[in-house]
């Protein structure tokens, strides 16, 4: 039993006539008759009383008719839903991103995506990279933007590098520059009052490791802040901070200085489950992120580049 046979059965029942049903279905009458005969054989029961004046349903046919109509309606609903999703007329994308990306790249991405596909429901999870990978593994996210990768999870995720960006030293643009040069060394940064992130941030681990490797102990005036708070405190002159270059875009209250020989970089990557094919909406989100990242890199100049 297949949908074509059911459709033929419903049309014959509607018209009570094989010839008219065949015309409605754009079929030759012998083809229609063979479909009905095959359906009757599959079900083991006659569906129509055939007579010279027309065809009427048997008791078996009367029992099948509402079921056939429901099955055809369900099939049409599935076809329509898949067509709408393919055309991005509906659907959902669950995106994860680190806090530094949420206040910079992701804001641009979601704005562009929603403007182009307003019917797609968006869900955003803001966590560190390790937590985002856990959510991907649990099936809670479709894709994520991470800044660290775990080699032990390579078999579970497809990770694609997107951007490489420098970490820079930021200070308040309303205060005197922390140096007159284009770059600053890590020992010089260590002597400045610093605002440092929460220990849950990957950035905190990277900067702590850099200072430790250089045998330096930075002067910390505030510890444990989140990204937005760090930037606001720096704007008000409380201290300096080491942040990704990306967050400086459209922040006139901050000025940045590149690190010299002790430069720090991070790689931003896509991550998605390796064993699950992306939905149409998630694939369009991936392309939107790629385009936005390329535009960000162009605006950031030498402190950021497209990976690969």
Query: Do residues 75 and 136 both lie within one domain?
Result: no
Query: Do residues 194 and 249 both lie within one domain?
Result: yes
Query: Do residues 132 and 208 both lie within one domain?
Result: no
Residue 237 maps to a domain: yes
DSSP symbol at 240: B
State pTM to two decimals.
0.68
Residue 123 maps to a domain: yes
- Tokens encoding 22: 């065949």
pLDDT at 14 over 60: yes
Domain count along the chain: 3
Average of pLDDT values for 134-153?
Answer: 78
- Tokens encoding 275: 């064993």
Average of pLDDT values for 109-125?
Answer: 91
Please give the Cα distance from 64 to 59 (Å, whole number): 9
Place of tokens 């392309």: 287
Residue 91 maps to a domain: no
Residue 176 maps to a domain: yes
Query: Do residues 115 and 170 both lie within one domain?
Result: no
pLDDT at 151: 40
pLDDT at 152 over 60: no
Whether 133 contacts 146, CB under 8 Å? yes
Place of tokens 């329509």: 80
The domain spanning residue 133 has which CATH number?
Answer: 3.40.190.10
The phi and psi torsions of 258 (rounded to 5 degrees) equal -75, 145
pLDDT at 243: 93
Residue 139 maps to a domain: yes
Query: Do residues 239 and 195 both lie within one domain?
Result: yes
Query: Do residues 27 and 105 both lie within one domain?
Result: no
The domain spanning residue 20 has which CATH number?
Answer: 1.10.10.10
Please give the Cα distance from 281 to 57 (Å, whole number): 45
pLDDT bucket at 60, cuts 50 / 70 / 90:
very high
Of 86, 111, 131, the domain-final residue: 86
Residue 214 maps to a domain: yes
Query: Do residues 51 and 115 both lie within one domain?
Result: no
Domain assignment of residue 242, given as a range: 165-265
Residue 152 maps to a domain: yes
Of 86, 117, 134, the domain-final residue: 86
Please give the Cα distance from 230 to 236 (Å, whole number): 10
DSSP symbol at 97: E
Query: Do residues 260 and 184 both lie within one domain?
Result: yes
- Tokens encoding 308: 């690969």
Of 37, 65, 86, the domain-final residue: 86
Query: Do residues 232 and 157 both lie within one domain?
Result: no
Query: Do residues 190 and 109 both lie within one domain?
Result: no
Query: Do residues 142 and 29 both lie within one domain?
Result: no
Query: Do residues 135 and 284 both lie within one domain?
Result: yes
pLDDT at 172: 96
Average of pLDDT values for 55-63?
Answer: 94
Residue 60 maps to a domain: yes
pLDDT at 130 over 80: yes
Which of 78-87, 234-243, 294-303 comes out lowest in average pLDDT?
Answer: 78-87
Strand partners, 34: none
Which of 68-77, 94-103, 161-170 comes out lowest in average pLDDT?
Answer: 68-77
């Amino acid at each position: 039993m297949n949908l074509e046979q059911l459709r033929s059965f419903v049309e014959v029942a509607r018209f009570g006539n094989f010839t008219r049903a065949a015309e409605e279905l754009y079929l030759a009458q012998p083809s229609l008759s063979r479909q009905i005969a095959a359906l009757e054989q599959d079900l083991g029961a006659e569906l129509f009383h055939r007579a010279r004046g027309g065809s009427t349903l048997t008791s078996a046919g009367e029992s099948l008719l509402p079921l056939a109509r429901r099955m055809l309606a369900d099939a049409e609903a599935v076809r329509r839903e898949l067509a709408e999703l393919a055309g991005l007329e509906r659907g959902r994308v669950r995106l994860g991103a680190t806090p530094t990306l949420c206040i910079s790249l992701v804001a641009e991405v979601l704005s562009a995506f929603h403007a182009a596909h307003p019917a797609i429901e968006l869900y955003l999870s803001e966590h560190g990279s390790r937590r985002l990978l856990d959510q991907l593994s649990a099936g809670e996210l479709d894709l994520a933007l991470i800044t660290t990768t775990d080699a032990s999870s390579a078999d579970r995720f497809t990770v694609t590098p997107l951007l490489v960006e420098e970490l820079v030293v930021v200070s308040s643009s309303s205060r005197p520059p922390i140096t007159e040069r284009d770059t600053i060394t890590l020992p010089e940064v260590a002597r400045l009052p610093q605002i440092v992130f929460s220990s849950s941030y990957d950035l905190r681990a990277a900067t702590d490791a850099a200072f430790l490797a250089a045998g330096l102990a930075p002067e910390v005036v505030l510890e444990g802040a989140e990204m937005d708070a760090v930037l606001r405190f720096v704007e008000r002159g409380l201290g300096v901070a080491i942040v990704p270059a990306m967050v400086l875009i459209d922040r006139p209250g901050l000025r940045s200085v590149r690190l010299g020989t002790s430069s720090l970089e991070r790689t931003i990557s896509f991550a998605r489950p390796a064993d699950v094919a992306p939905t149409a909406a998630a694939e369009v989100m991936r392309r939107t992120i790629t385009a936005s990242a390329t535009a960000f890199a162009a605006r950031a100049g030498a402190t950021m580049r497209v990976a690969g």
